[in-house]
Amino acid sequence: MRFIILLLFLLSLSFGGARVQEHILENGVKLITKETRGRGIVSGVIFIRSGTHGEKRRGLTNLTALLLTKGTKTYSSYQIASTFEDYGGSVYASASDDYVEIGFSTKVEGLKEGLRVIRSMLLEPLFSEEDLERERRNVLQAIRARRERGQELAVDALRRITYKGSNYEVFPLGLEEDVKAISREDVINRWQEILRSKNVVVSLVGDFKTEQVLPMLREVFSEIPEGEYPLNPVDVPMREDLLERVKRPGSQATVLCAFDAPEFKGREYFAFKVLDAVLGDGMTSKLFKELREKRGYAYAVYSTYPTRLSSPRLIAYIGTSPEKKEDALRDLMEVIKNSEITPEDVELAKNKIVGDFLLARQTRARQAWYLGFFEVMGFGWKMDSEYVDKIRSVSFEEVQALREKYLKIHHCVVVEP
């Protein structure tokens, strides 16, 4: 066989009653397998490190990903779907800010044929003009719909000011004028550009023996073209407070604010995850108790700390009535920056993060996703087993120090009638 597997290293861990192994193919594709025991289910996710980085037209990567399941030179869209659905599974492809992902689930007996379909999707996508036009219309409709929903309109406006000059400035759906101009040649070139072996991470979790599935994985993924698509994340620092107001018809106001945050690599990341949970994760959070329960501004209020390759932010949201928007904006920033945090708050937040993380990994599909996500984002797949301990080790003092260090400057958007 032209492409043989090169075992540069084989790492094995046992956690959660399962064995995880890593293999690197000769062309640089990284394979991660996790053996489980159950009812013969297997799930996989292929991550391609790319996302919207380096797009020539905003929305090109998203449109390209959507077309992957619409047909290949060998399989129709119906055949692609039925290969997995006949076993009670599914297949999808999508694009986010930092990667493209292709995920699937099937029974073990359907894996061989499923991988043949995945190979065809990767190496011989059809990208037909007819499919392109149909998906283009769907994307344009989705872009326009975002302008009709206050929260999504606020998200897009906040992106423009807090991520200005980076690929995060525009939501992965893209810009309407760019999506209209995307050609089939653009799609073909984009796929050839990002489908490079050193950008690809494949995670497979299921009721199999690795030595049995490894030849099938090798056969498919050894054919991915060698090379690497370079990513050059642009970090956008927060230097001054900014406030933008957006007018739209409606009966509700939306307040969305971004605050500076630590980069995802390093211990600060985990402590800041805890701080985010203290401030805005669930009904026990500061934002919920102060802005909803005590002041009655709104039902929906939260914060989030998305993991991105650059320009880290904590994002806080509240939806309220127009007459309360100024008070809500003022009090949101007060809670984020100055509300009292106790050691008990920190312990409660840590327990919630750990519980949510463990519950989220109950399915093989999510286990495969987390293994691949941690690897493609630069943490390494072993973070899947280390994450809980890193969260539990965060101290109250670390959380307090990070709040004082980062939550100073804000970028806010108010969407109002």
Return the exposure string of 22-50: e unless at least 16 CB atoms fall within 10 Å of the residue's CB, then b: bbbbbbbbbbbbbbbeeeebbbbbbbbbb
**Of all helices (H) and strands (E), which one includes residue 153?**
helix 150-162
Given a contact cutoff of 8 angstroms between Cβ atoms, the answer to whether 209 and 108 are in contact is no
Distances (CA, A) of 43 to 111, 365, 367, 392: 9, 5, 9, 29
Q: Are residues 341 and 271 in the same domain?
A: yes
Q: Are residues 156 and 264 in the same domain?
A: no
382 inside domain: yes
DSSP letter string, 37-96: -SSSEEEEEEEEETTTTT-SSTTHHHHHHHHTTSBBSS-BHHHHHHHHHTTT-EEEEEE-
Domain-terminating residue out of 188, 221, 254: 221
Q: Are residues 157 and 115 in the same domain?
A: yes
Give the model's pLDDT for residue 18.
Answer: 65
Q: Are residues 260 and 393 in the same domain?
A: yes
Q: Are residues 205 and 248 in the same domain?
A: no
| Structural domain for 306, as ranges | 242-416
Give rounded-to-5 percent helix, strand, coil for the chain. 45, 20, 35
> For the chain, what is the domain count?
2
168 inside domain: yes
Domain-terminating residue out of 162, 187, 221: 221
Given a contact cutoff of 8 angstroms between Cβ atoms, the answer to whether 314 and 281 are in contact is no
Q: Are residues 157 and 257 in the same domain?
A: no
CA 222 – CA 119 distance, rounded (Å): 10
Q: Are residues 85 and 43 in the same domain?
A: yes
CA 93 – CA 412 distance, rounded (Å): 32
92 inside domain: yes
Tens-digit pLDDT string for the chain (417 aa):
333 333 333 333 333 446 899 999 999 999 999 999 999 999 999 999 999 999 999 999 999 999 999 999 999 999 999 999 999 999 999 999 999 999 999 999 999 999 999 999 999 999 999 999 999 999 999 999 999 999 999 999 999 999 999 999 999 999 999 999 999 999 999 999 999 999 999 999 999 999 999 999 999 999 999 999 999 999 999 999 999 999 998 889 999 999 999 998 889 999 999 999 999 999 999 999 999 999 999 878 999 999 999 999 999 999 999 999 999 999 999 999 999 999 999 999 999 999 999 999 999 999 999 999 999 999 999 999 999 999 999 999 999 999 999 999 999 999 999
Q: Are residues 334 and 265 in the same domain?
A: yes
CA 403 – CA 400 distance, rounded (Å): 5
346 inside domain: yes
Q: How far is CA 375 from the centre of its chain?
A: 13
47 inside domain: yes
Give the model's pLDDT for residue 197.
Answer: 98
Those residues whose C-beta lies under 8 Å from the C-beta of residue 45, and which sit 6 or more positions away, are 101, 102, 103, 104, 202, 203, 365, 368, 369, 372
Would you say the pTM of this structure is higher than 0.85?
Answer: yes
Nearest to 271 by CA among 190, 392, 385: 392
Domain-terminating residue out of 190, 221, 252: 221
228 inside domain: no
Give the model's pLDDT for residue 358.
Answer: 96
Q: How far is CA 281 from the centre of its chain?
A: 18
User: Residue 179 is part of a domain; what is its CATH number?
Assistant: 3.30.830.10
CA 183 – CA 186 distance, rounded (Å): 5
3 inside domain: no
Q: Are residues 181 and 249 in the same domain?
A: no
Q: Are residues 252 and 398 in the same domain?
A: yes
Q: Are residues 150 and 290 in the same domain?
A: no
229 inside domain: no
Q: Are residues 121 and 52 in the same domain?
A: yes
- CA angle at residue 217 from 374 to 227, to 5 degrees? 65
Residue carrying structure tokens 């690795």 = 210
Given a contact cutoff of 8 angstroms between Cβ atoms, the answer to whether 143 and 179 are in contact is yes
CA 170 – CA 58 distance, rounded (Å): 7
Side chain identity at 51, as an amino acid letter? G
Neighbours of 336 (CB within 10 A): 21
Phi and psi, residue 165, nearest 5°:
95, 0
CA 42 – CA 22 distance, rounded (Å): 17
